[in-house]
Amino acid sequence: MRGLQLPLSQTQKVRLQKALQQLESLSSKVNSDASVTIADSISVNNEDGFLKGHGTTDLKGEVVATVCGVVERVNKLVYVRALRSRYKPEVGDILVGRVVEVAQKRWKLEINYSQNAILMLSSMNLPDGIQRRRTALDELNMRSIFEENDVVCAEVRGSQNDGLHLQARSQKYGKLKRGQLLTVTPYLVKKQKQHIHYIEQYGIDLILGCNGFIWIGEHSEVKDDEMMVDQANQSEGQEQNFTALETRKYICRTANAVRILSNLGFNMTLEIIKETVNLSLSLNLDTHEMLSSEFCVLVAEKEAERRSSIKKKR
C-alpha cells in the first residue's frame, strides 16, 4: 500500500486493510528467525568461524543487523538481504534503458542506477545481422541504430574500469518501439527464469526489467540472421508505422495493471499482471476505470483469494 494515494471510502479502507492483512499472514515464512529488523541479533556459530557481510555489524560481541531484511548464509559468510533497496546490477540481468548520449563507439543508457550504463558498438548485433568487425562507417552510422531517447533492451555484461557494460548480441534485445515505458521500485521485480514475455492473447510484449523499468509494447517478431539480411536488402519505407487500435487498448490496459500492482506493493510477475487485466475485462471496465479506488480494492481481494486457495491445495 506504499505510495497509494486514492480517495478510498471508509468501507473500501476496511476491505483493503483486511485483504492486505490476509496477504501478510499468508506470506509469513515458517522460519521467522530468518527475518530481522535493525539491531536484531543474528545467531552464528562462533566455533566454526564466520564472516560478517553486508547489513551486519559487531556490537558487544554479538552480530546484529543494520538493515531490515532476510538473513542469508553462504558457507561462512553471513549477511542480510534488504527487502527494499536500490537496484544493484548483476551479470546476466535483463534491463530496459533509455539512451541519453551517443559517444565514440558506445551508447550511454539511463538504467535507474547510480551511474549510466555503457553499450559498446562491438557488443551488439548490427541491423544487417551479419557478424563482422565494426568499421569506421559503422561508427558514423551509430545514430541510425540508436539515438537519444530511444528505449533499448539489453543484458548486463559486467563492470569494467569505465563503468557498467551491457550487451545486446541476441535478436531478442535491441530497440523497443510502439509501447509504454513504466518505472516501478526495483525490488518489486524479482529475478525470474524469463523476463521477456509475449502475451499472445493480447498481441503484446512485456519486458520486466530487473532495474524497475517495465516495457509494454506491440509484439515484435524475433528474426534470424537470414531474415535480417533479406529485410536489409528490401527498400525502406515499407515498415508498418502504426499500431492497431485493439493492440493499443491492450497496451494501455496492461500498463494500468502494472500501475495498480505497483501502488499495492505486489511483485511484478506475468501471472498477476494477466490476472489483473483479465479481471478488468470480466468486469467490462474501460481502461481509465482500472485506476479507480474500487478496482484497486478488488485486485487486493482477488490476490488474497488466489494465494489462500494455493495454500489450501498444498
Quote the CA–CA distance of 39 and 306 in Å, as a whole number: 35
Sign of the torsion angle spanned by Cα atoms 284, 289, 291, 292: negative
φ and ψ at residue 233, rounded to 5 degrees: -80, -15
CA distance 89 to 311: 33
Bridge partners of 216, per DSSP, are: 180, 206
* CA distance linking residue 87 with residue 49, whole number of Å: 31
The residue type at 144: S
CA dihedral of residues 90, 93, 98, 102 (deg, nearest 10): 70
Rg of the chain on CA atoms, in Å: 23
Residue 296 is placed in which grid cell? 484497486
pLDDT digit of tens for each residue in the chain (314 aa)? 444 567 888 898 899 989 988 888 876 543 445 778 888 888 887 656 788 888 898 888 888 888 888 888 888 888 887 877 778 898 999 999 999 999 999 999 999 998 999 999 999 887 776 777 888 888 898 999 999 999 999 999 999 888 899 999 888 899 999 999 999 999 899 888 899 999 999 999 999 999 999 999 999 876 554 444 444 444 344 456 788 999 999 999 999 999 999 999 898 999 999 999 999 999 999 999 999 999 999 999 999 988 888 877 76
Q: Pick the closest to residue 90 from 139, 157, 141 (CA basis).
A: 157
Domains by residue range for the chain, with CATH: 37-84 (2.40.50.100)
The length of the chain is 314
Cell of 47: 566455533
Contact between 98 and 200 (Cβ < 8 Å) = no
Extract the C-alpha cell encoding 61. Answer: 560481541
The pTM of this model reads: 0.82
Strands 69-74 and 35-36, bridge-based pairing: antiparallel
Strands (E), 53-191: 56-59, 62-65, 69-74, 77-82, 94-103, 106-110, 117-124, 151-160, 163-168, 174-176, 179-183
